[in-house]
């Protein structure tokens, strides 16, 4: 969620999730104003922290300057020795090559190099301190594959090359030994230094030198890239440049991607909720007109900056890693196709969790359903409007005193909540509540809150260095934080969730929020404080904090607060206005050097949007079981909560856990899905929705989506209409908005209701296709949603396209992303060699080869097209819920390619059991005027195949259509689209021999 105020508060700006409702005014004493906190505690937090024994590791700017050079130009690099080759790779020693430079820490003299050819497609280059004193990610958190038992040194397409003095390495392809290296740290491959600051306002963007630097508080490694390289990944971020990252050519600023999880309301070009140091590079050979992809992953949890830049007059671009701890542990993936890279990354860090089928339905939520009756009303009104609703959610309105694992006894009595959830279940619908990461600390001895006292008994709270509880502040007031390293944490978390469910909140899944982790004060501010006197709160909708913003072009002072497209027959959108992405401020990159900002620890100031690393989160010296400090493990808080929650839910419910979480890290996809955070009701954010979903496919978290219609500010009818349709073609589909904003449930406007019904009907008909895509993600790591160039890698005009996308390989979506238009431009991949057919009319698109084609897109219509060569299993009769839909028959849609072939598969199981579970794969093959259906598996497919539509079946009307040789089919042929429709089949999909359909000319 967002902060209760939009006031910008310098380094302690705490844009964050707001919560609470008017029905909970009796609990206002336990609520706090994030805005007031930012002002008061920025000045006081260090003093308070020190006064209570939670001493922060600090060093003044003057002290840092005196201790360290803050310049790497004199760093000597390393020299390689003691090389030892093995069947799986090599090891060697790296020795500091000269006098220590101590640029941002103390140089580590002795390093170890370990190179492992893991597979023919994956190579590991690990540079670590020989003494192993630097933090590395424990295998209990992310378990990477063990060293191989067979040799790939002579067969891998990736080859490790090195120079001994100064040590440098570069990675090449065995298949293209003379091509530009994929990764190259040699000084001779990089531009000469020093290079003045690339941003004049930020001295840290100077490139003083490119030696290998390995210090206790600063690591640096630089690689050359092709000039203006096609780089994708590095996140989480809302990048102003789009899905393709800015590498700093043609006057553009380049990229500084900071890896430090942060609770902030969706800023542009800043670090936000998750940290993923993986990138995919796509290289196009101008001579051969062919392209290949490879991937690079830095396996580290350290706070860091990654720079993508092109120095003036440089013939190459570059990527530079600057980390404040950890090691230089890199994995390289050979591809060569974009999808191969993504799958290879998944094989390393873990494949996505299996999703329950109900998770693919439409979800509804808002912060501001003040009681159980208002929540129930939404379910009723959605059904009255005939807009399918699969899952109902509640935000922290549900809680008593804003405390986890509770229900408010007045507004959400436990017995009424239970009755409501059971009514949902009886109608094949589901319920998901929120869980925030912080747990309220008891106010006094008469305060009864079992989740806190039980945690004390099991000793599961994060500590100060002196062993006392680390006490921050979040929505319920002073709070403690689960220590996911604790031996008892899984038992504690499972017990808390189980008690909640047994007490009436019979959830089907869980929403994990505020897990960056977020704290509204700096330091252990509640240690020794008067816990009964929290600071007052100012929430959205309160006087002085009204939610007044609308999308661009809508003037509420002129047209009123309805958000309607027309009022009294007049368009409300300003005809001469266009939406501007500049409406969302892009920060300067000099936060670390601003006057009064002291990052103190560590000495290198990564470009954290809040400045100091302890702002709005745990202090960097907060201590975890095992002696881990927050500085080293901060980025993994969300991941560890997700894993613990997943295991708990699976134990409690016995089904596939459905989780949606905010903060993520590599391998989070094994446990959870993700929503894109506290976005805005702006047209720009509808566009950002696409790049966010594409990012998380690369990150192996395919169940992802944005808050449809926007979370913050007010939406309007047109934006919500377009967004509800686009999100129907996104993996996670939820409408959610903030307290006091204009209600945006899809039934609120007739046009939005109509558009939603149409889009959800298509989505539900496509559920077998969606489900198969998610099964392939869980089994192979295949991306569910794809950038166009993934499927058409040799077409450079697609490399920067992120206003369109593919669902799987066969469905092309071209959403309208601007207001007040009735057409949209889109490119059709394939350069005229691929036939694209309209989803609605089945007509062939007369597309411009390699360029944009203008499509009709009146309000309520989203252009969707089918790729040739596809065979897509559908539900023939989309119903109100997924369970009702899947009880009906199937249909099959085939789009034949020019050579007369098509192919498709469908994965079928019960949609709920934890794999391994009985399953069946259906395979559809078309060729030579014949469609054959093969069934392979042990799951009984109860529903039959009712009808088949074959597009491009024949240029002339067939004389006969037979089923297993019998001319007993009911069929029609439409010559306009060469469309053959075979109906009334009632085919048993568990049998192969009878399922052959042929048409004879």
Q: For the chain, how are helix, strand and coil distributed in percent, rounded to 5?
A: 20, 25, 50
Looking at residue 165, the DSSP 8-state letter turns out to be: T
Residue 230, C-beta contacts closer than 8 angstroms, at least 6 positions apart:
244, 281, 282, 283, 284, 799
Hunting for tokens 């009964």 — which residue is that? Answer: 532
Bridge partners of 871, per DSSP, are 894
Looking at residue 35, the DSSP 8-state letter turns out to be: H
Largest CA distance in the chain: 91
Alpha-carbon distance 197 to 932, whole Å? Answer: 64
CB 955 within 8 A of CB 998: no
Long-range contacts of range 973-977, CB-CB < 8 Å, 24 or more positions apart?
Answer: 976/843, 977/837, 977/841, 977/842, 977/843, 977/844, 977/951, 977/952
Closest CA to 938 of 995, 886, 990: 990
Alpha-helix residue ranges (DSSP H) falling in 113-223: none
CB 649 within 8 A of CB 672: no
Closest CA to 616 of 3, 7, 204, 57: 3
CB 550 within 8 A of CB 577: no
Alpha-helix residue ranges (DSSP H) falling in 12-166: 34-51, 61-67
Alpha-carbon distance 499 to 505, whole Å? Answer: 9
- Torsion sign, CA atoms 231, 236, 242, 248: negative
CB 898 within 8 A of CB 878: no
Alpha-carbon distance 629 to 464, whole Å? Answer: 10
Bridge partners of 171, per DSSP, are 160, 183
Hunting for tokens 């008593």 — which residue is that? Answer: 400
CB 128 within 8 A of CB 111: yes
Alpha-carbon distance 823 to 732, whole Å? Answer: 26
Alpha-carbon distance 226 to 143, whole Å? Answer: 33
Bridge partners of 870, per DSSP, are 895, 903
Hunting for tokens 């009064």 — which residue is that? Answer: 596
Looking at residue 731, the DSSP 8-state letter turns out to be: S
Residue 369's Cβ-count burial label (10 Å; 0-12, 13-18, 19+) is buried
Alpha-carbon distance 378 to 68, whole Å? Answer: 60
Helix (H, G, I), strand (E, B) or coil at 73: coil
Tokens of 371: 């009681």
Alpha-carbon distance 472 to 459, whole Å? Answer: 17
Q: Among all residues, which ones are annotated catalytic?
A: 513, 516, 678
Tokens of 45: 């937090």
Hunting for tokens 């929503």 — which residue is that? Answer: 675
Helix (H, G, I), strand (E, B) or coil at 258: strand
Helix (H, G, I), strand (E, B) or coil at 296: strand
CB 692 within 8 A of CB 701: no
Alpha-carbon distance 347 to 642, whole Å? Answer: 19
């Amino acid at each position: 969620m967002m902060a209760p105020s939009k006031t910008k508060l310098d380094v302690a700006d705490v844009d964050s999730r707001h919560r609470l409702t008017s029905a909970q005014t009796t609990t206002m004493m336990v609520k706090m104003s994030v805005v007031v906190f930012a002002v008061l505690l920025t000045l006081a937090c260090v003093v308070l922290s020190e006064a209570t024994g939670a001493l922060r590791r600090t060093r003044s700017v003057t002290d840092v300057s005196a201790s360290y050079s803050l310049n790497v130009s004199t760093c000597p690099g390393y020299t390689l020795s003691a090389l030892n080759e093995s069947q799986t790779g090599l090891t060697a020693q790296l020795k500091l090559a000269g006098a220590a430079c101590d640029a941002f820490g103390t140089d580590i003299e002795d390093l170890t190099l370990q190179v492992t050819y893991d597979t023919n497609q994956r190579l590991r280059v690990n540079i670590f301190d020989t003494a192993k004193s630097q933090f590395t990610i424990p295998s209990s958190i992310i378990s990477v594959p063990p060293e191989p038992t067979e040799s790939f040194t002579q067969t891998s397409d990736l080859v490790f090359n090195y120079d001994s003095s100064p040590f440098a390495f570069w990675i090449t392809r065995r298949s293209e030994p003379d091509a530009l290296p994929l990764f190259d740290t040699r000084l001779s491959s990089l531009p000469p230094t020093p290079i003045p600051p690339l941003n004049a306002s930020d001295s840290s963007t100077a490139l003083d030198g490119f030696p290998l630097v390995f210090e206790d508080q600063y690591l640096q490694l630089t690689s050359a890239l092709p000039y203006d390289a096609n780089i994708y990944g590095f996140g989480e971020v809302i990048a102003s440049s789009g899905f393709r990252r800015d590498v700093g050519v043609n006057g553009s600023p380049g990229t500084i991607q900071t890896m430090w999880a942060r609770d902030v309301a969706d800023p542009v070009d800043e670090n936000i909720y998750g940290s993923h140091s993986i990138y995919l590079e796509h290289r196009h050979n101008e001579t051969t007109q062919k392209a290949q992809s490879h991937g690079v992953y830095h396996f580290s949890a350290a706070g860091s900056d990654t720079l993508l830049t092109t120095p003036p007059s440089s013939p190459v671009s570059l990527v530079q890693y600057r980390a404040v701890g950890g090691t230089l542990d890199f994995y390289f993936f050979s591809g060569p196709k974009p999808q191969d890279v993504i799958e290879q990354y998944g094989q390393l860090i873990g494949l996505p969790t299996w999703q329950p089928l109900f998770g693919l339905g439409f979800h509804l939520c808002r912060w501001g359903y003040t009681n159980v009756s208002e929540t129930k009303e939404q379910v009723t009104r959605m059904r009255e409007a005939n807009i399918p609703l699969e899952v109902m959610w509640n935000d922290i309105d549900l809680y008593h005193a804003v405390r986890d694992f509770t229900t408010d006894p007045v507004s959400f009595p436990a017995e009424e909540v239970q009755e409501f959830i059971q009514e949902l279940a009886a109608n094949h619908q589901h319920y998901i509540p929120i869980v925030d990461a912080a747990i309220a600390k008891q106010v006094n001895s008469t305060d009864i809150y079992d989740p806190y006292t039980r945690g004390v008994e099991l000793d599961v709270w994060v500590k100060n260095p002196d062993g006392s509880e680390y006490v921050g502040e979040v929505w319920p007031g002073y709070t403690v934080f689960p220590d996911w390293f604790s031996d008892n944490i899984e038992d504690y978390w499972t017990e808390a969730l189980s008690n909640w469910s047994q007490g009436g909140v019979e959830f089907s899944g869980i929403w994990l929020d505020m897990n960056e982790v977020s704290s509204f004060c700096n330091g252990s501010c509640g240690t020794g404080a008067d816990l009964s006197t929290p600071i007052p709160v100012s929430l959205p909708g309160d006087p002085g904090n009204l939610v007044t913003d609308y999308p661009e072009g809508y003037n509420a002072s002129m047209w009123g607060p309805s958000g309607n497209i027309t009022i009294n027959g007049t368009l409300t959108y300003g005809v001469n206005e266009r939406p501007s992405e500049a409406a969302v401020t892009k920060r300067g990159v000099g936060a670390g050097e601003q006057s009064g900002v002291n990052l103190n620890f560590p000495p290198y100031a990564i470009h954290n949007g809040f400045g100091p690393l302890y702002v709005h989160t745990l202090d960097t010296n907060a201590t975890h079981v095992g002696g881990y400090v927050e500085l080293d493990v901060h980025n993994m808080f969300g991941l560890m909560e997700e894993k613990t929650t997943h295991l708990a839910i699976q134990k409690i419910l016995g089904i596939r856990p459905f989780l949606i979480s905010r903060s993520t890290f590599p391998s989070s996809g094994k446990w959870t899905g993700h929503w894109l955070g506290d976005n805005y009701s702006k047209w720009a954010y509808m566009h950002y929705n696409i790049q966010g979903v594409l990012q998380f496919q690369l990150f192996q978290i395919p169940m992802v989506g944005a808050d449809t219609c926007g979370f913050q500010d007010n939406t309007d009818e047109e934006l919500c209409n377009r967004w509800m349709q686009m999100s129907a073609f996104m993996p996670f589909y939820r409408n959610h908005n903030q307290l006091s904003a204009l209600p945006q449930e899809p039934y609120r406007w007739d046009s939005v209701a109509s558009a939603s019904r149409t889009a959800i009907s298509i989505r539900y008909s496509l559920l077998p296709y969606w489900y198969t895509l998610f099964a392939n993600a869980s089994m192979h790591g295949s991306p569910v949603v794809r950038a166009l160039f993934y499927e058409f890698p040799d077409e450079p005009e697609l490399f920067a396209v992120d206003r369109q996308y593919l669902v799987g390989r066969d469905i092309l979506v071209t959403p309208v992303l601007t207001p007040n238009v009735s057409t949209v431009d889109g490119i059709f991949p394939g350069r005229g060699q691929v036939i694209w057919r309209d989803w609605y009319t089945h007509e062939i698109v007369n597309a411009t080869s390699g360029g944009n084609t203008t499509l009709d897109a009146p309000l309520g219509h989203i252009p969707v097209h089918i790729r040739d060569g596809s065979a897509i299993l559908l539900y023939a009769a989309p119903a109100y819920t997924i369970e009702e839909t899947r009880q009906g028959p199937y249909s099959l849609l085939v789009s034949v390619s020019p050579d007369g072939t098509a192919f498709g598969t469908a994965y079928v199981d019960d949609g709920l059991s934890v794999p391994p579970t009985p399953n069946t794969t259906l395979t559809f093959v078309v060729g030579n005027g014949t469609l054959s259906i093969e069934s392979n598996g042990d799951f009984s497919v109860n529903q039959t195949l009712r009808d088949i539509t074959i597009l491009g079946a024949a240029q002339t009307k067939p004389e006969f259509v037979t089923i297993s040789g019998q001319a007993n089919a009911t069929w029609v042929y439409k010559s306009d689209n060469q469309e053959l429709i075979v109906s009334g089949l009632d085919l048993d999909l568990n049998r192969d021999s009878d399922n052959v359909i042929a048409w004879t000319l």
